[in-house]
Amino acid sequence: MFKLVGGNLNGKIAIKLHTGEPHGPNIIPSPWVQKLQEQIPDSTIVECNVLYGSPRQTSKGHRETLKINGWNFSRVDIMDEDGEAELPSNGAKYVKRFRVGKNLLNYDSMLVLTHFKGHTMGGFGGSMKNIAIGCGSSGPEGGKAQLHGLLDHNGQWIRGEELMERMADGAKAITDHFGKKIVYINVLRKMSVDCDCAGTSAAEPTAPDIGILASTDLLAIDQASIDLIKALPEGQNRDLMERITSRKGLRQLSAMKERKMGHDQYKLIDINKA
What's the rounded Cα separation, in Å, for the pair 220 and 224? 6
Global model pTM greater than 0.95: yes
Give per-residue burial for 27-65: e unless 16+ CB within 10 Å, then b: bbebeebeebbeebeebbbbbbbbbeebbbeebeebbeb
DSSP state of 15: E
Residue 273: band (very low, low, confident or very high) from pLDDT cuts 50, 70, 90: confident
Residue 162 three-state SS? helix
Percent of the chain beyond pLDDT 90? 98
Residue 192 reports pLDDT greater than 90: yes
pLDDT at 267: 97
Average pLDDT of span 166-178: 98
- How many other C-beta atoms can be found within 10 angstroms of the C-beta atom of residue 201? 10
Lowest mean pLDDT among 50-54, 96-100, 182-186: 50-54
Residue 274: band (very low, low, confident or very high) from pLDDT cuts 50, 70, 90: low
> What are the structural domains, with CATH classification, of the chain?
1-259 (3.40.50)
pLDDT at 272: 85
Average pLDDT of span 221-247: 97
